[in-house]
Amino acid sequence: MKKSKKLLALLLSLTMVFALAACGSGTSGGDSGTAESPAAGGETTPTATEYKVAMITDYGDITDQSFNQTTYEACSAFCEANNVPFEYFKPAGDSTAERVAMVDAAVADGYNVVVMPGFAFGETITQVADINPDVTFIALDVSQDDLGSYTLPENVYCAVYQEELCGYMAGYAAVKLGYTHLGFLGGMSVPAVVRYGYGYVQGADAAAAELGVDVTVEYVYGNAFAGDADITAYMDNWYQNLGVEVVFASGGSIYTSAAEAAAKVNGKLIGVDVDQAPIIDSGYGEGMTVTSAMKGLSATVNHMLTETILNGNWAQYGGKVDTLGLVDGSDPEANYVQIPMESTQWDDSFTQDDYKTLVSQMYDGTITVSNDISVEPEVSAITVNYYGNVKG
């Protein structure tokens, strides 16, 4: 009798062990793959379905036809294609405190990838990155200069661009296409805008030297990133009295002032950051946009979200400030800086093949472009008139 009781107890114990083992090896019917998966060293990494992407606008909004809108559209397209939650947050005003408030709001809502376009986010990063170590921050156009002495933690990646290269392409193209009186209207004299302008001057100088023509460049900063009546009046003087034929307007929506002035005299514009021909030509006059000096904002956003969310390769990027420029000497559209193949006003004096040759020579070092913004670029074949700022 005692042996029977002991045997029964042993069988009951074994049954409980097997039952517990079966429970431990199963998955609940409600689990759709959102659990963390093991990573090297016993750590865990989120799966794609656990990511939520937020974009914070800087001083502009997502209809600026430039930096914010391009970044927004790239984030939105990626997230929609990959079923990742996405939202954008617009600060109430143009201050670090208000940008920080929007980052805080996004994090509080569970967004763990935050995309920030524009140098204005430099100080914001220094205030939010360390206290949110589990949030991934992707910043566009934020350089070490914008960060000051701050050392990037592993949860932040910054991309900056060689604007001097696409600025050079635009200036070179303008002169090759027959324009001899050029203008540069910058927003504020921040590094990215200055690189655009100084590259533009160097490109115009190189083309003028090749053609043996006299070229003049008028050069000014609006000291604002939006057009207004004062800047439009300044541009009116350039187009109507000085005889400027084409203006490279670089800096947010400041192009609106140049476009308004150009429309009165059939003048021309050069766009910036993205291909602005669709918006400028449709809003101010068909054929107004000669070309645009572009940098790969969409390409950067798509690459970084892909690497972070789909490929799990964030460790290769965190803590870095990367400078993006030419990556292919034979395919201009593969580069992070370029002018548009589709909308540039090519003709026999400057063809797409001529442009490809230019890019190839820039890529292999035959043509070099200075990125020094501490001094005005040296020129040999053109006259440059520097005017400082339109607005104090």
Q: Tell whether the model's pLDDT for residue 151 goes beyond 90.
A: yes
Q: What's the sign of the alpha-carbon dihedral 367, 373, 378, 379?
A: positive
The Cα–Cα gap between 373 and 388 comes to 15
**Whole-number average pLDDT of the chain:** 89
pLDDT score, position 19: 35
Write out the H or E segment, with its range, that includes residue 124: helix 122-128
Q: Which residue has the tokens 């604007």?
A: 163
| For range 168-181, the mean pLDDT | 98
Annotated domain spans of the chain: 48-161+299-324, 163-294+338-389
Looking at residues 198-204, what average pLDDT do you find?
98
The CATH number of the domain covering residues in 163-294+338-389: 3.40.50.2300
Which numeric CATH code is attached to 48-161+299-324?
3.40.50.2300
d(CA 350, CA 3): 101
Strands ordered across the beta sheet of 337-338? 337-338, 289-295, 268-273, 246-250, 181-186, 215-221, 382-389
Helix (H, G, I), strand (E, B) or coil at 156: strand
| Residues linked to residue 384 through DSSP beta bridges, in sequence order | 217
Are domains 48-161+299-324 and 163-294+338-389 of this chain identical in fold? yes
Strand arrangement, sheet containing 320-324? 86-89, 53-56, 113-117, 136-140, 156-161, 320-324
pLDDT tens digit sequence for 365-374? 999 999 999 9
The reported pLDDT for the residue numbered 252 is: 84
- 132 neighbors 155 (Cβ within 8 angstroms): yes
pLDDT band at residue 49 under the 50/70/90 scheme: low
Could you give the 3-state DSSP secondary structure of residue 370?
A: coil
Helix (H) and strand (E) counts in the chain: 12, 15
Distance set, CA 308 to CA 100, 153, 296, 311, 358 (Å): 23, 16, 18, 6, 34
Give the mean model confidence (pLDDT) for residues 17-23.
Answer: 34
Of 136, 142, 182, 162, whose CA–CA distance to 313 is shortest? 136
CA distances from 25 to 36, 37, 42, 174, 387 (A): 16, 15, 19, 68, 74
Proportion of the chain above pLDDT 70, given as a percent: 88
pTM of the entire structure? 0.84
pLDDT surpasses 70 at 5: no
